[in-house]
Amino acid sequence: MMSNDNRHVTSVADPAAMAEAAAERVIARISENPGRVAICLTGGSSPKQLYQLLGTDPWRSRIPWQRVHWFIGDERFVPADDPLNNMRVARKTFLDRCAPASNIHPIPTSTADPTDPDRGAALYEGELKAFYGADDLDPGRPLFDLVLMGVGPDGHTASLFPGDPLLDEVRRWVVGVHKANVEPFVPRITLTLPTLACCREMLFEVAGSDKRAILTRVFAGENLPATRARSSGETIWLVDQAALPENFRA
Ligand code: 6PG
């Protein structure tokens, strides 16, 4: 494990090894909390192998499903059964087979106005506050045990895009994003940086040579959403060999 600017970077061989390492982190965080556990999932293609592992033995039987709650850090503003819907991917891959329905917390996207993500954002903010039991986040009492993240080719993370004033949002927990910077070009709903940060651990999964250029910029500290996304606890980057920047190679 290498450390750089309070960020832990763990290099793994390939996407399969990355999924195993991420599954170990999920189990570790669950084991550290004997009570109600909250895990915030992510969209994109990077976490799919992890989701498959979590729904398959031996991992599946290591998870105390009754006391683990599953949230999502951002959502595409499409119906819950649309193939682009992030929570749909997680549900189909493992949640629907393993988790009690009341422990699955999707971001609502079927609001009255199909062009306005703000209402869904406000509803999800209400759900998070009810779960947390307070209207203000206290870093000493993390909202999430684990927050999974990915990074896009432009340095976005969750649905926080470069240059968007929403990156500076400190009051709202969840916001509507009317314009996406990358495909799919649908509105989004995303947790804000302070909400994502309120966790014991933030875990990025990054794989593939097409991610190496953006990762080089993120690790150099350029002002990008993925650079600014930090946990108030631990922030870990799992990076496969193909994505690992030159100066991080042994
Ligand atoms: C989304 C995501 C997004 C994703 C990155 C990385 O809804 O698209 O949550 O932030 O994590 O774009 O995506 P890949 O894993 O597909 O590279």
DSSP 22-41: HHHHHHHHHHH-SS-EEEEE
Q: Is 203 in the pocket of ligand 1 (CB under 6 A)?
A: no
Distance 34 CA to ligand 1 centre (A): 31
What is the structure's pLDDT at 159? 98
Q: Tens digit of pLDDT for each residue in 142-167?
A: 999 999 999 999 999 999 999 999 99
What is the structure's pLDDT at 116? 84
* Residue 10 pLDDT exceeds 70: yes
Work out the average pLDDT over 210-239: 97
What is the structure's pLDDT at 37? 98
What is the structure's pLDDT at 5? 57
* Residue 3 pLDDT exceeds 60: no
Mean pLDDT value across the chain: 95
Distance 59 CA to ligand 1 centre (A): 24
- For residues 213-232, b (16+ Cβ closer than 10 Å) or e, as one string? ebbbebbeeeebbbbbbbbb
Q: Is 49 in the pocket of ligand 1 (CB under 6 A)?
A: no
**Contacts by 208-211 with C-beta closer than 8 Å and gap 24+?**
208/15, 208/240, 208/242, 208/243, 209/242, 209/243, 210/153, 211/151, 211/153, 211/242, 211/243
Q: Tens digit of pLDDT for each residue in 65-77?
A: 999 999 999 999 9
22-26, 59-63, 132-136, 183-187, range with the lowest pLDDT:
183-187
Q: Which of 18, 40, 41, 42 to mutate to test the pocket of ligand 1 (most atoms within 8 A of CB)?
A: 42
Distance 232 CA to ligand 1 centre (A): 22
What is the structure's pLDDT at 248? 84
What is the structure's pLDDT at 188? 96
